[in-house]
Structure formats: C-alpha cells, structure tokens
Structure 1
Amino acid sequence: MTLSAISAMCGILAAPVAIATPNEELGLYGSIKAAQTSQRVSDMEDSLRPAGAVLPQETKQEFVNGSFGLGYQFGAGWRAEVEYTLPQKQEYTSDVAGRFRGSLNHHEVDAQRMMANAYYDLPVKENIAVFASAGLGWAKVKSSGWQGNVARQFESKTVNNLAYSVGAGVTYSPVKKISLDLGYRYVDMGRIESGLNNFANARGLRDENMKAKLVSHEIYVGARYRF
C-alpha cells in the first residue's frame, strides 16, 4: 500500500472525529442558565383540614429563574456539573368543601436547589450536538402562608428533600471555548408542607397545615465557557 493511500485512509477515518471535537475540549467550564419555568403542585388534598375536603385552586405558576454552575468536560461526549438554582417564592391556593367554603389557604413556597448533573453530548454535525441529561441533588423548600386573611398565619416549615431531574436539548459551539445550550428538563423536588395553624380555628385546635408535591417543567437557554 502506497504512502498516499495510507494518508487518504487516515483522512477518512479521522473525519468523524473532526465532527465530534467542538464539544470535546477537556477541562473545567462555567455555566449560566435562564429558564422559563412552569412550577406545579399536586396532592394538596393531603393537607390537614379537618373541617372538610381540600379543593385545589391555583396549582401552577409561570416565571423566569436563573442558575449557575461549575462543570468538567471529560471527553467521549460526557460532562458533569454542579448547579445552583436561585430561590423563587410562589403562591398556591386551595379551598375547603362544606360550610367553610371560600376560606382559602394561601400556600407560599420558597424553593431553591443544588444539583449534580450529568450530560451526554451526541454530535450531529460540526459544532452542533444533541444531549441528554440527568441530575440528583438537594432541594430546600420553605413553606408558609395564611388562611382567609393574612392575620391567620401558618407556621413556617423548611424541608430538605432529595431532588432529581431528567432532560434533553441541543448545544451549539459558535467559537472555541464557548457553547450555547437550549434544553428542557423535568425537576421533582419532593413533598413539602407548612407548619401547623398559628391561629384559632373553629375547633380551637392546632390541627391544620398545608401539604403538596412540588415539580417544575423548565425550558432553558444557557451558555458555557471552557477555561
């Protein structure tokens, strides 16, 4: 086999590698994300409300949130990062069946999280790849609120839950060291609850609180810089 033939064969074998290289530069990177978030609560019916069945009212809030992270590009398509998502305070309401109908519970939820995320990038053409992601970490959620009017407060309670996420998206590297991401992820932050009622109810007892399961659907744009 001639030297020219060997060179040509090496060029053919190297071509797929050239497509895979834009996101393969090894080392540390920093990241920021801005996410259009649809945060939702469910299972509000599990709240303590002896006066009657709990009827969920407002169960979804839309807002923009941000996060930042520090990661490492391992090569072969794999990267991992630690990400902190900024706290956001939202409010959800529920009612009660029976003679106390209309005495709404206002569940104020203040959530933040720290996650360890893993990504796998699959190149589709030069400078462009699709990715899948999964994350596991910690969600800190403070629950408080009131019933009927703001003078009738529930005690505040903070829970620290195991959180997880799954997602997918596309990444583009316009220049060396910079990557731009567009993705979606589902985040489950577990069950949350407020403290007991800090006001006198009709029974003269502290036997009420607010409970829910907290998740979010996020569409995000992000940027990464490889150091």
Structure 2
Amino acid sequence: MRGAQVPSSTTDQRLLDTRGTADWVHTDPWRVLRIQAEFVEGFGALAELGPAISVFGSARTKPGTREYAMGVEVGRRLALAGYGVITGGGPGAMEAANQGAREGGGVSVGLGIELPFEAGLNPYVDLGVNFRYFFARKTMFIKYAEGFIVLPGGFGTLDELFEAVTLVQTQKKTSFPIVLLGTDYWGGLLDWLRRTAVPAGTISEVDVDLLHLTDDPAHAVRIVSEYEDERPHPHFTQQGPE
C-alpha cells in the first residue's frame, strides 16, 4: 500500500497501545490467530531456503556511498559462496545486499514490516514476506540464518544486532557468527563495551569477542563461512545477562 492507502497506524501499534476503552479485552484473543498466521506464512515461505545469512543496515544508506557499495559486495560474495541473503527488504543497505545477492545469482530474500513509511519491498527481492509484527519477523531473521553481517545502521539495526548477541550469549542460538562491517562506524561501540561495560562487570570480555569487526566484505563472508562450533561459549550467571 502506498500514498493515501497507507494506514495512519500499524498493527503493532494497535496491539501495544493500551489507551482507550476496554475493547482490547475482546479483540486481543483474535489477534493470536493473525500472529499464528504470520508464523505459518514465514515458516512456509522459508522452510526450503537452504543456507542463508541475514544482512542488516540502515534504510537511509544512499546509493553511491561506500556503505552501499559494501552492501552490494557482501551480498554478491555471499551468493557466490552459496548463501541466500536475507534482509528487511527495504531501501538503503538492505536494498544493496539484495542487489548483490541477485548479481551473484543467489536467492535474495526480503522480510518486510508494516510501517507508516518505507512501504513495499525493494526491487531486488526475489522472495518476499511482509509482516505486521516485529517479533514474528525477528524470529525468521534468526531461525533461517546461519549468521549475521551488520552494516552501519540506526536503532533498528542495533535492536536486531543486540537481540542476536543476547541469544548467542545465553546459548539460545549456538554456532552463530556476527560480523560488524565498518570499523569507523562500529569501533567506538566495541571500545565502549570493552572499556566501560566489561570493567563494570555487566558483561564479560568473552561476550565482546562474539562480535567480529572488519572493513572487508570478503573477510566478513569468510568469517561466516569458516565459523566453527568450537568457538568459545559466553559466560553468564544463573540470573542471565543484565
């Protein structure tokens, strides 16, 4: 839906908004069926995808920039290495990775989300699924990928990145490489984790080591391709991560 057909509120927003009358008491149980349908649709569409890597990054990344070029290159190299490429299906870095996947002859997947902007999937998506609920979409990013490659991005990218790190750190997801592409962009974040969070005792040094940093798309693809089960397991207390 585009133009005047784009609704003023999203399904997620209506689910989470507790203001107003008590009508939600009667409508929320029916929403469970819609949520169930999203999981069924996603599982059905991706069940036979084969090996794939999820690539994240900003929807604001412009064609012609270094970051966009990195996205195209990493998508192309992943396809040549035999991986499908899963993105959020939107513009910017997502479009770049999907473009590279198509150029490399691989499967280009886009998992879209209902938003009041960025409507529709980018033109390089070959297999697309649109979701109303973020949590259903996030499950697909994790379940059908063998790793993440993360380009420079904003809050949405950070949300997906740290959810993945948490799942690996708590061993909900095992043998799952996470690569940050762009040392200038991500280096400060890793420095803060090592210099502030580790000394504060909120995370351990081995948790930071779950994140691999590089500027080279070829190196990023090599990391996810060569990742082994013998990677060090993160340390966490019985209470779990803070």
Normalised TM-score (structure 1): 0.19
Normalised TM-score (structure 2): 0.18
* Structure (1 or 2) with the greater helix fraction: 2
* Structure (1 or 2) with the greater strand fraction: 1
Larger radius of gyration: 1
